[in-house]
A and B are shown apart, each in its own frame.
Chain A
């Protein structure tokens, strides 16, 4: 489905273009309805005329829409059908700005809206709706206008936007939300720094529906950062009502309370069992949600989730291993399909760049040559992954695999080890996280190859706390790590993983002043061509330095019911299920 066919481009990253009509969304829905055969031609024409379109525009719109309808007959959504979704664990905290377990993000992505959204397009015959990070679109903000220097962003809020109780969402709420991000101690604090919105004084609210951000730097990532679920708009009134002198930003209250403005409301939540979201009767965007609600059920065993999907009890089964996903590839099971798209979700074997012998580049390169990349993709990931070949993963803008040189070659690995004075090998260890069987399988394959070059690597399976602790304190010689960047941007990705000062997230403790300089300059470089060149330069240096062995970029794969359409895939991987429907 082409979403919002006549919609006017709202913004681009660099150039703001305001909406031409407050009724744009309504017109878009009208077109959708016509394309979905839910209204007649006559009804379409009479209702479209209200928008003051010229006869020529109307007939053009009608012709194009009718042609689209003829080309791709639309599946008819069952708008009252609920989606049953199996998850491995329950949501924990429900503060949009806090770090959460994954189901918490799933819940909040459907309960709250943000200022900006990303445009999405349908692929794979309507199975999946993919958001395009380069095409921001309206959400709570009807328009965002960026100044030429990209340092002033002016938002016009949708006057229809409401909180779940029907109370209006205004500029005061936006200001409160971002003030909480700037001054609070939550997760968003760090994103505000990246946005370079560093002072509450830089948020102006000239009227009830206008917000102006003054950014410290010209920022090419502004719209993409604002589309993140963690920057959901919260109610200033509710928050202030529950603030205390010790808890100014109402962290304690928001941990366990929801007051949303999104397409759903939290209907029930049985701790440990799951939660149900019902359509929000006060939601401001017509036509959404496209289903009758969401039932998230905790099914702890992934095998049972998949079995329940096969029986039709579930429509979506999350957290399914590559092996099990492979078993339901299209055609293998009658009522289940596997949604599979390449994604920049990086998996790597990190070398501790501050620990001997990994301080020697030749050792890192040798081990990079010894990793059995193809075997891992084939036998561990069952083909549901792509060769990564660079720190900027494939699928992410400016990815360049041409600097890659580490195709598996044990003799080269041995030569490099000998050159580094370790021809007789050495003993080391690989830390992996309990609960990720694919990491364990990959580690076993790597261990076998390393043994062939004289490197004895013990595999340590660690719980989340110890694993994280080892990473943060640079205690692991090697770790298998995963990373997907919420913002589909090479410098966002490099900033967290390769900048020497980001010791908590730079898991290999990689440090190269030239790369640091490129990252810090590139992240705020407004010129797209220059930015791309800087990204490629950084990738070239990093690949040669080999701080990681880039194992693969995991596909985004998701088993789902065959009659499920428009499974949402956004860069932050938080599913906006209000677009999804059953037929």
Chain B
């Protein structure tokens, strides 16, 4: 029985044998050394791949933004610009330099955290992005937490009660939320809850027109208002966060619930779960001790993708709710040919994606030895 349990269970995951008084098998010294070497190789491969990806991104970003038609210096100076003034502005913006030199400046600057000056705001792009990123992160995190709190239990419940009415209902909800256009959803939620029912404040951003933001520590208004001991402001920042977060959460809900359901179904169909059932454990015990943690693993990947998408800034939700995040910034940059801002934004997004994926890969390797050993 002990041998069967050990071979059926993924290593290092909680197994029913432990609960039944059995012990896990310790890895021999040679195997541990092999695991450590594999892990190092795995890490090195992943980090090298991340660096290569980012380098390719810098080339792609630079080429695409610099072959766009139009002259940003002209947009900056307006229609009255004389040729001399235009030339001076082009020199100021560095547009007179050859492309390789501009690329080198861009890359070497980026390595030092200098993404150039935004032609539109006249401020360093890194500072602009830094100012706006907390708003996007706060919204993305709130939406993801909401979506997980609702989507994961729903997905698991649907799997546990497969083909029940609940299962059909959850699949329908997921289908509808996936099909809903986000701009429509945002507008409808604002219309109903802000303008008609007046349960939520109007979509004027992170706080009301008369509110003063809390002193910035983390950039998250919810946390900063708590740190400042201002509970009233905390409550208001939650009020303003609610509708955009719910909008994004509804959209996120679909993939999360679907993945949760399918991964739970898969786990419930494994031999070790069947073995647990055969050993007489109750459905709740099996769910809690055997299935839950294993079913959460595929969700990591999904959450990484979803969070990365949200951190890239959701232009539509940020626009509908006047949320001053990086999405709105990027939109403004694109419409005004703000080269440095566009480049900086894409580079930031790419870095977030690459780092998130790297972290997820590493987490996978930590919790599932098959990854690092494979």
In the assembled complex, how far is the CB of residue B125 from the closest CB belonging to chain A, in whole angstroms? Answer: 12
A437 at interface by CB-CB < 8 Å: no
Give B183-224 as 1s and 0s: 1 = Cβ < 8 Å from A's Cβ atoms.
Answer: 000010011001100000011111001101100000000000
Closest residue of B by beta carbon distance from A312: B202
Closest residue of A by beta carbon distance from B198: A311
Give A450-480 as 1s and 0s: 1 = Cβ < 8 Å from B's Cβ atoms.
Answer: 0000000000000111111101100000000
Give B86-97 as 1s and 0s: 1 = Cβ < 8 Å from A's Cβ atoms.
Answer: 001000000000
Contact A463 B82 (CB under 8 A): no
B77 at interface by CB-CB < 8 Å: yes
B81 at interface by CB-CB < 8 Å: yes
Provide the residues of chain A in CB contact with B82, threshold 8 Å.
Answer: 189-190, 504
Contact A298 B205 (CB under 8 A): yes
Contact A465 B337 (CB under 8 A): yes
B304 at interface by CB-CB < 8 Å: no
Partner of B324, one of A93, A273, A467: A273
Interface residues of A in 427-469 (CB under 8 A from B): 434-435, 463-469
Partner of B335, one of A185, A298, A301, A435: A435
Provide the residues of chain A in CB contact with B337, threshold 8 Å.
Answer: 463-465
The complex places the Cα of A408 from the Cα of B335 at a distance, in Å, of: 35
Give A72-95 as 1s and 0s: 1 = Cβ < 8 Å from B's Cβ atoms.
Answer: 000000000010100001101100
Contact A99 B77 (CB under 8 A): yes
Contact B319 A300 (CB under 8 A): yes
Instruction: Decide: A434 near B335, CB < 8 A? Known: A187-B77, A271-B121, A301-B319.
Output: yes
Contact B202 A273 (CB under 8 A): no
Number of B residues with CB within 8 Å of any CB on chain A: 51
Provide the residues of chain A in CB contact with B84, threshold 8 Å.
Answer: 185
Contact B81 A304 (CB under 8 A): no
Closest residue of A by beta carbon distance from B74: A468
Instruction: Decide: A465 near B123, CB < 8 A? Known: A185-B88, A272-B131, A304-B203.
Output: no
The complex places the Cα of A471 from the Cα of B70 at a distance, in Å, of: 11
Instruction: Decide: A301 near B71, CB < 8 A? Known: A89-B332, A99-B76, A185-B84.
Output: no
Closest residue of B by beta carbon distance from A256: B122
Give B305-322 as 1s and 0s: 1 = Cβ < 8 Å from A's Cβ atoms.
Answer: 000000000000011111
Chosen A-B contacts, 15 in total, with CB atoms closer than 8 Å, are A185-B85, A187-B78, A268-B212, A270-B213, A295-B209, A299-B205, A301-B322, A304-B190, A304-B202, A304-B320, A304-B321, A311-B195, A434-B335, A463-B335, A468-B79
Provide the residues of chain A in CB contact with B336, threshold 8 Å.
Answer: 464-465
Contact A271 B69 (CB under 8 A): no
The complex places the Cα of A240 from the Cα of B321 at a distance, in Å, of: 42
Contact A469 B69 (CB under 8 A): yes
Contact A189 B85 (CB under 8 A): yes
Contact B205 A273 (CB under 8 A): yes
Provide the residues of chain A in CB contact with B69, threshold 8 Å.
Answer: 465-466, 469
In the assembled complex, how far is the CB of residue B353 from the closest CB belonging to chain A, in whole angstroms? Answer: 23
Provide the residues of chain B in CB contact with A303, threshold 8 Å.
Answer: 187
B329 at interface by CB-CB < 8 Å: yes
The 3 closest A-B pairs by CB, nearest first: A465-B70, A99-B78, A465-B337
The complex places the Cα of A527 from the Cα of B254 at a distance, in Å, of: 74
Provide the residues of chain B in CB contact with A310, threshold 8 Å.
Answer: 195
Partner of A297, one of B70, B79, B88, B205: B205
Closest residue of B by beta carbon distance from A268: B212
Contact A465 B74 (CB under 8 A): yes
The complex places the Cα of A352 from the Cα of B185 at a distance, in Å, of: 44
Instruction: Decide: A465 near B68, CB < 8 A? Known: A84-B209, A298-B322, A472-B74.
Output: yes
Instruction: Decide: A463 near B70, CB < 8 A? Known: A187-B77, A271-B131, A304-B203.
Output: yes
Provide the residues of chain A in CB contact with B187, threshold 8 Å.
Answer: 303
Closest residue of B by beta carbon distance from A274: B205
- List 9 additional contacts besides A272-B328, A297-B322, A307-B202; criterion CB under 8 Å: A185-B84, A298-B324, A307-B190, A313-B204, A464-B70, A464-B335, A465-B74, A469-B69, A505-B79
Provide the residues of chain A in CB contact with B132, threshold 8 Å.
Answer: 271-272
Provide the residues of chain B in CB contact with A297, threshold 8 Å.
Answer: 204-205, 209, 322
The complex places the Cα of A561 from the Cα of B322 at a distance, in Å, of: 21
Provide the residues of chain A in CB contact with B335, threshold 8 Å.
Answer: 434-435, 463-464
The complex places the Cα of A469 from the Cα of B79 at a distance, in Å, of: 10
Give B335-353 as 1s and 0s: 1 = Cβ < 8 Å from A's Cβ atoms.
Answer: 1110000000000000000
Instruction: Decide: A271 near B123, CB < 8 A? Known: A297-B204, A303-B187.
Output: yes
Closest residue of A by beta carbon distance from B127: A271
Provide the residues of chain B in CB contact with A301, threshold 8 Å.
Answer: 203, 319-320, 322
The complex places the Cα of A93 from the Cα of B117 at a distance, in Å, of: 13
Contact B322 A465 (CB under 8 A): no
A24 at interface by CB-CB < 8 Å: no
A183 at interface by CB-CB < 8 Å: no
Partner of A300, one of B68, B72, B121, B328: B328
Instruction: Decide: A92 near B71, CB < 8 A? Known: A99-B81, A313-B209.
Output: no
A255 at interface by CB-CB < 8 Å: yes
A308 at interface by CB-CB < 8 Å: yes
The complex places the Cα of A308 from the Cα of B320 at a distance, in Å, of: 12
